[in-house]
A and B are shown apart, each in its own frame.
Chain A
């Protein structure tokens, strides 16, 4: 297997062989698993099925999370966007992206089944963007799998430099990377070339540098659930900019370096331990103390 450890190397290899990025990622995975490409694609189809069912379950279930502080927000968005009487600035797609991301996270917090993407706390972003777009533009499952491969490959190359965990690099490494992956996936879905895909990813990642991981009471609830909604929309913005021909002034590999540095410089108190930031605000502490879920 050819060693491709940076985006520059992946891009060069893809362009030299007249391949899309997803084809390079799928070739690499097949050789890693010592299986054929169809095996890799069918495993991704399985993940895609679970992503669909997390959204469906998330919207159907109105039960609150075990702590009782979150769980019924996705339907509020659907309600607003399906009401013909209400004027909204963007179309139904915008509402669905937000709602699907939040629904997936609500299902996650209810102990429902999800696909970590790249983590459980950021598992709503890629599925929401991908599935909402695919419904709107009637995109085939095969094309959706191409986009999933693009997303996964982008996440994988980033993970060579930075571990994808809030405890290591803050939320930049979770929701930040998920929106970077989704930006690339959407650009693939909309027919963008390899350069546009990597520009979308770079634009998305640049805009989340420094994002902290400071969840209230250490739970995947506040701000994680709504942040998945924001991040999914963020990925669509980055993709649209790139498809319009806007380039990232800083190449993706260098943005990843900057993200790694920001992660190192970030105080450990803001990296998943809930000892600063939102977690220790007056209201954050009040919520924590009132949970009374442990002794």
Chain B
């Protein structure tokens, strides 16, 4: 509790009206964009529960699209993000759902362009967020850490190979989560790091046999 900063009380500097429904939405969009890295041709957003019910009045729709276009929580252009997407020729569709199994402020984002990406996330309050699913794999991404997401063929020894490359650069692992579709099939690893990892290390990981995807996701500023 002594880690509370006075800037958690006076702050963040943000575009209103709601830290959970607006600022949180922008950060979810931004994190999805950092995972996707391309400009999508099509954005499909499914809002759940409170996000679906009160989202429009809170600018949740504009916030999510703003984040997907790379805007931060204090950018006055958030208000015009839907127009900006249209100008850039990006098709944006919204769906509204009720699902009591999901978090009250929950969203699915599907991005289509050269590649496809599916991301599922929640806004936890006070601008805090989490991405809980990427392309069907369970992950925990909060945007607070530099994170590596790896997709590979489930097999023994993968974790030790990867962690060795991280250790070579003297970087501390803050947390690690593994998930797989089924034994011997596609698996995913989410690794939160205390420091940004070098391109060289990523290149080495990409060279590993049966490694399908290596993605570095930068922390997003608060």
Residues of A within 8 A of B (CB): 1, 3, 5, 25, 29, 32-33, 40, 43-44, 46-47, 50, 65-67, 107-121, 123, 126, 148-149, 151-153, 155-156, 159-160, 164-165, 167, 181, 217-221, 273-274, 291, 293-295
Q: Is A29 touching B6 in the complex (CB atoms < 8 A)?
A: yes
Residues of A within 8 A of B55 (CB): 294
Within B1-32, the residues touching A (CB, 8 Å) are 1-19, 22-23
Which of A32, A120, A123, A274 counts the most B-chain CB atoms under 10 A from its CB?
A120
Q: How far is the CA of A108 from the CA of B5 in the complex (A)?
A: 23
Whether B16 contacts A160 by the Cβ 8 Å rule is no
Contact of A111 among B8, B62, B96, B126 (CB under 8 A): B62
Q: Is the CB of B57 within 8 A of A217?
A: yes
For residue A167, which residue of chain B has the nearest CB? Answer: B125
With A and B bound together, what is the CA distance between A104 and B110 in angstroms? 35
Given known pairs A109-B17, A294-B53, the reply for A66 and B59 (CB within 8 Å) is yes
A-B contact pairs, 17 of them (CB 8 A): A29-B7, A44-B6, A111-B17, A111-B22, A111-B78, A115-B12, A116-B126, A118-B10, A121-B18, A156-B5, A156-B6, A165-B125, A181-B9, A219-B17, A219-B58, A274-B54, A294-B53
Q: In the assembly, what is the distance between CA of A83 and CA of B11, in Å?
A: 35
Picked from B3, B12, B54, the residue with its CB within 8 Å of the CB of A116 is B12
Residues of A near B5 (CB, < 8 A) are 29, 32-33, 156
* Chain A residue at minimum C-beta to C-beta distance from B1: A160
Q: How far is the CA of A47 from the CA of B94 in the complex (A)?
A: 34
**Complexed CA–CA distance, A3 and B17 (Å):** 34
Distance, CA A215 to CA B9, complexed state (A): 22
- Chain A hits for B11, CB < 8 A: 47, 115-117
Closest to A160 in B: B1
B10 & A117 in contact (Cβ 8 Å cutoff): yes
CB distance from B22 to the nearest CB of A (A): 7
Interchain nearest-CB distance for B127 vs A (Å): 8
Greatest chain A CB density within 10 A among B19, B59, B76 is at B19
B52 within 8 A of A: yes
The CA-CA distance from A111 to B22 in the complex, in Å, is: 9
Check B74 for interface membership: any CB of A closer than 8 A. yes
CB within 8 Å for A66 and B13 given contacts A5-B1, A120-B18, A294-B52: no
Q: Residue B37 at the A interface, CB < 8 A?
A: no
Q: Which 3 A-B pairs have the closest CB atoms?
A: A108-B16, A152-B6, A218-B54
The complex places the Cα of A220 from the Cα of B7 at a distance, in Å, of: 22
Bound-state CA distance A294–B50 (Å) is 11
* Interchain CA distance A107-B192 in the complex, whole Å: 37
Chain B residues contacting A50 (CB-CB under 8 Å) are: 13
A294-B126 contact, Cβ under 8 Å, with A113-B13, A120-B19, A148-B10: no
Give the chain A neighbours of B116 by CB distance below 8 A.
none
Whether the Cβ atoms of A294 and B15 lie closer than 8 Å is no
* Interchain CB contact (< 8 A) of B9 among A110, A118, A121, A218: A118
Q: What B residues does A181 contact at CB under 8 A?
A: 9
Q: Which residues of B contact A164 (CB under 8 A)?
A: 9, 126
Interface contact B125-A156, CB-CB below 8 Å = no
Residue of B nearest to A26 (CB): B6
Known contacts A113-B74, A219-B54, A152 near B18 by CB under 8 Å = no
Specify which of A46, A109, A165 is in contact with B13 (CB 8 Å cutoff): A46
Max count, chain A CB within 10 A of own CB: residue among B1, B9, B58 = B9
User: B206 to chain A: which residues have CB within 8 Å?
Assistant: none
Known A-B contacts A1-B2, A107-B16, A120-B14; A159 and B78 likewise in contact (beta carbons under 8 Å): no
Bound together, the chains give a CA A160 to CA B127 distance in angstroms of: 18
Tell me the bound Cα distance from A114 to B73 in angstroms. Answer: 11
The distance in angstroms between the C-alpha atoms of A120 and B58, with both chains bound, is 11
Chain B minimum-CB-distance residue to A215 = B54
